Structure 1
Amino acid sequence: MLFSLLIAHYNNFTLFKDCYQSIINQSYGNFEVIILDDCSTDESYENLQNLIGNDNRFTIYRNPENKGVGYTKKKLVDFANGQICGFVDPDDALTHHAIKKSIDCYFTKEVIATYSKINICDENLNFKKIFPNTYKVKKANPLFFNIQFEISHFFTFRKSAYEKITGINPDLKIAEDMDLYLQLYEIGEIQFIPEALYFYRIHDNGLSHTQEKSKIKEDNWHQVILSATKRRNLNTLYGKKIDDIPNLPKFIYEKQNTFFNRVIKKLS
């Protein structure tokens, strides 16, 4: 199976070099890499072209103007030729067997997507810890909204399944991945890989380090969950009308993260 690795890039060439090295070192060889540069303002786009050179596994596109991550990721899926797709952020990296471990899950036709555990790393990609919230989630739970990032990187999906949903919302600046996860969760089996396949880098230029970006994240995540409740024909959550809830992520987190629920989660 051809695997399409998709990268939305913006002003990130320096950190991308680690990502690039992890890609060319993959144990699975039947892959393509599609990079869409969101009109970088530094020399990242030119540096990307120089780094990739004549490697025909890589294709680089560029938006004519800065369009944002939702638009860019949606276009990336459109460009993909593989039966299986997966995103990696340009400032992160993959383990040596990340693509192989994911591809192996798709020989069961019922599986439409996969996700794994995550290595949390410092700015130099040095390991700090395993992200604790990722685990196997129950199927078809109308109250599952991925509030604690139970489903996260390394996330892969069948393109044929993606074509059955609305797809990535091009208007989202943040939480576009959460929207994708929830849409696919609602239509088929998502398999959990109990192994860390992804290196997630924590650094000062990340998406949620300013008050403005935090507000965008709050608004976008609220919209993602609101859309999910409409798809699931829900009018109330925990006895309260959804239209009367100003911050759905906070409200659901408080309802689902009681002491009793935390104990049950640990036991299970």
Structure 2
Amino acid sequence: MSYQAKNDGTEPVKFAIVCPAWECSRWAERCLRSIMSQTYSNFDCIYIDAFSSDNTFDVASAVVGSDSRFSVVRNEVRKFPLENIVIGTNQVAKDDNDVIVIVDGDDWLAHDRVLEILAGIYRNPDVWLSYGNHAPLRRTLKEKLRGRKKKGTYEYPDYVYQYAFYRQFPFFCSGHVRAYRKFLFDSIRDADLRDDDGGYFWGGGDAATMYPMLEMATKKHIRYIDEVLYIYNNDHGLSEMRPETRDAKNIVKMKIQSMPKYQPLELSR
């Protein structure tokens, strides 16, 4: 599959922000207001309530109000984050060069210049994907004793870039805030986002999408951002990282890691 590279860097960067949410009534306002307050305003955002049992949808709808850049939708049945990311992306990202930004519905952007920083990076048409550092909302006991917060992620080593060993590397470094161009996301085979039963993976959506895109982009088109741009809410009792779900999530991740590597993506000029 090939795409025509259209943006020569002179067009303004357009962001398509996708917020998958479930049982997020406590945090929906903070998430959305962190996006609404951005100094860079050329974006559209979709906040998808995954059939929550609380009032996530009502809270989000009230916060957004009449702001035409935002849409709030509610699933008719329970859907997991990866499927909601696919649905949301198809609704809000229109152009191949749009930059998709994932902000989970219970997390938020670290300050009001996050999109401004990302826009500065994506004005370069050679940038297709970025990942970076984030801060957890709550520090662990070890971090408290150290007196500082641990970095959320680190950049992949050069040899991982060189040989595209993302699936083999023991650490998943491509953390929030994750952003990438629509044409790169569209190049992922839909079948590679689905489990043996034909449905989208219930967990591990970050690995299912990022591994193929990292492999297709190659280091030339990837940027790591060391500055903290994202707050990860590890205080949510329904987080995928809660202990009772880790084994199941690891099984999904190992399935994804065992999939064939993607080849570098070639764009027509």
TM-score, normalising length from structure 2?
0.77
Distance change in 2, residues 1:11/1:38 (3 Å): same
3-state SS of paired residue (1:191): strand
Residue of structure 2 in register with 1:98 after alignment: 114
Q: 240, 252, 264: which one pairs with 1:207?
A: 240
Residue of structure 2 in register with 1:174 after alignment: 203
- Tell me the distance in 1 between the aligned counterparts of 2:117 and 2:174: 16
Spell out the pairing of 1:104-183 with structure 2 (5 A cutoff). Answer: 104-122=120-138, 129-131=149-151, 133-138=153-158, 139-145=161-167, 147-166=170-189, 169=193, 171-183=200-212
On the 8 A contact 1:119/1:131 being kept in 2, the answer is: yes
Q: CA deviation at 1:137?
A: 4.2
Q: CA deviation at 1:134?
A: 1.5
- Tell me the distance in 2 between the aligned counterparts of 1:202 and 1:29: 28
Distance change in 2, residues 1:136/1:195 (3 Å): farther
Q: CA deviation at 1:232?
A: 5.4
Q: CA deviation at 1:208?
A: 2.7
On the 8 A contact 1:121/1:129 being kept in 2, the answer is: no
- Tell me the distance in 2 between the aligned counterparts of 1:84 and 1:109: 11
Distance change in 2, residues 1:204/1:27 (3 Å): closer
Residue of structure 1 in register with 2:267 after alignment: none
3-state SS of paired residue (2:133): strand
Q: CA deviation at 1:72?
A: 1.1
Identity %: 19
Q: CA deviation at 1:106?
A: 1.7
- Tell me the distance in 2 between the aligned counterparts of 1:9 and 1:132: 21
Spell out the pairing of 1:37-56 with structure 2 (5 A cutoff). Answer: 37-56=49-68
On the 8 A contact 1:74/1:169 being kept in 2, the answer is: no
TM-score, normalising length from structure 1?
0.78
Q: CA deviation at 1:144?
A: 2.4
Residue of structure 1 in register with 2:256 after alignment: 224
Q: 11, 15, 18: which one pairs with 1:6?
A: 18
3-state SS of paired residue (1:14): coil
- Tell me the distance in 1 between the aligned counterparts of 2:48 and 2:23: 12
Distance change in 2, residues 1:32/1:43 (3 Å): same
- Tell me the distance in 1 between the aligned counterparts of 2:70 and 2:209: 24
AA partner of residue 163 (structure 1): D
Aligned residue pairs, count: 227
3-state SS of paired residue (2:51): coil
Name whichever structure is richer in strand by fraction. 1
Q: CA deviation at 1:157?
A: 0.4
**2:213 matches 1:184:** yes
Residue of structure 1 in register with 2:3 after alignment: none
On the 8 A contact 1:173/1:216 being kept in 2, the answer is: no
Deviations along 1:189-220, whole A, 9 cap, x unmatched? 21111211111122151223242x12221111
3-state SS of paired residue (2:216): coil
On the 8 A contact 1:122/1:201 being kept in 2, the answer is: yes
Which structure would you say has the larger RCO, counting Cα contacts within 8 Å and 6 or more residues apart?
Answer: 2
On the 8 A contact 2:130/2:178 being kept in 1, the answer is: yes
- Tell me the distance in 1 between the aligned counterparts of 2:181 and 2:209: 12
- Tell me the distance in 1 between the aligned counterparts of 2:247 and 2:226: 33
Residue of structure 2 in register with 1:68 after alignment: 80
Q: 209, 221, 229: which one pairs with 1:197?
A: 229
Q: CA deviation at 1:143?
A: 2.3
